[in-house]
């Protein structure tokens, strides 16, 4: 197939190594609410999905989770947001794709104001045509909803020419639900097994530099 016309990138674990800042803020939320801190494996699942959903999975009620999200946002703005750095080689990938005429967009379930700020901090804002993130409410909280929102900004691009690049099962699930191709990043925070459950034919990369070839040549496999 010809190369993709539009490439969507997840943020945490795909463009940016951000785990330290996120988990530091999560630990403070649990401390302030006097809850037992989850084990490290469970804590790791907080990187990627909406914070509200993660807190709910840990036993927070709806109201407690909403309050927890606000606590998290406070700490993230104060300190967590500064613990972000681009993965080695990802800026070169973005520049190469941009030079080849590929349209680039971010599709993340991170709260949009945070996502936009991080993209600027990482020096990527001039490389992306659009940044799509989650809303404070429920209208755009899942990955599939964010992907659909981003695709609405590119009405001339058919789904067959779009690929989602991410590192967790939430990215793979969103791509599968929307019906677009998916490429998994094993250098991030998810696992091959989790992503393959949703996109069994997806290829995987172990370092960002491998993404360029897939994006410019496509692959024989669908996200569904």
Count the alpha carbons within 13 Å of 139 in the hemisphere toward its beta carbon.
5
Distance, in Å, from the CA atom of 200 to the CA atom of 86, rounded to the nearest integer, reads 28
Distance, in Å, from the CA atom of 21 to the CA atom of 82, rounded to the nearest integer, reads 7
pLDDT in the model for residue 2: 56
User: Catalytic: 10?
Assistant: yes
pLDDT in the model for residue 221: 47
Catalytic residue among 10, 167, 171, 181: 10
pLDDT in the model for residue 222: 43
Residues 14, 15, 16, 22, CA torsion sign: negative
Starting at the edge strand that comes first in sequence, how are the strands of the sheet with 204-205 ordered? 130-134, 103-111, 6-9, 162-166, 181-185, 204-205
* Structural domains in the chain, sorted by start: 6-17+84-217 (3.40.50.1000), 19-82 (1.10.150.240)
pLDDT in the model for residue 219: 62
pLDDT in the model for residue 19: 85
Query: Do 43 and 37 contact (CB within 8 A), yes or no?
Result: yes
pLDDT in the model for residue 68: 95
pLDDT in the model for residue 223: 38
Residues lower than pLDDT 70 in the chain: 1-2, 219-224
**Taking the model in full, what pTM does it have?**
0.86
């Amino acid at each position: 197939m010809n190369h993709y016309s539009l490439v969507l990138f997840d943020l945490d674990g795909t463009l940016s190594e951000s785990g330290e800042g996120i988990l530091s803020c999560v630990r403070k939320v649990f401390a302030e609410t006097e809850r037992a801190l989850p084990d490290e494996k469970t804590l790791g699942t907080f990187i990627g999905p909406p914070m509200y959903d993660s807190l709910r999975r840990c036993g927070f009620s709806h109201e407690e989770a909403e309050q927890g999200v606000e606590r998290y946002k406070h700490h993230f703005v104060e300190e967590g947001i500064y613990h972000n750095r681009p993965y080695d080689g990802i800026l070169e990938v973005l520049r190469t794709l941009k030079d080849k005429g590929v349209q680039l967009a971010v599709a993340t379930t991170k709260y949009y104001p945070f996502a936009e700020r991080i993209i600027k901090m990482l020096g990527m804002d001039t490389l992306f045509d659009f940044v799509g993130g989650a809303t404070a409410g429920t209208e755009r909280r899942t990955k599939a909803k964010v992907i659909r929102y981003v695709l609405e900004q590119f009405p001339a691009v058919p789904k067959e020419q779009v690929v989602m690049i991410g590192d967790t099962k939430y990215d793979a699930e969103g791509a599968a639900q929307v019906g677009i191709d998916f490429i998994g990043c094993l250098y991030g925070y998810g696992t091959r097994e989790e992503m393959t459950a949703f996109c069994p034919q997806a290829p995987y990369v172990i370092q960002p530099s491998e993404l360029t070839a897939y994006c410019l040549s496509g692959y024989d496999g669908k996200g569904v």
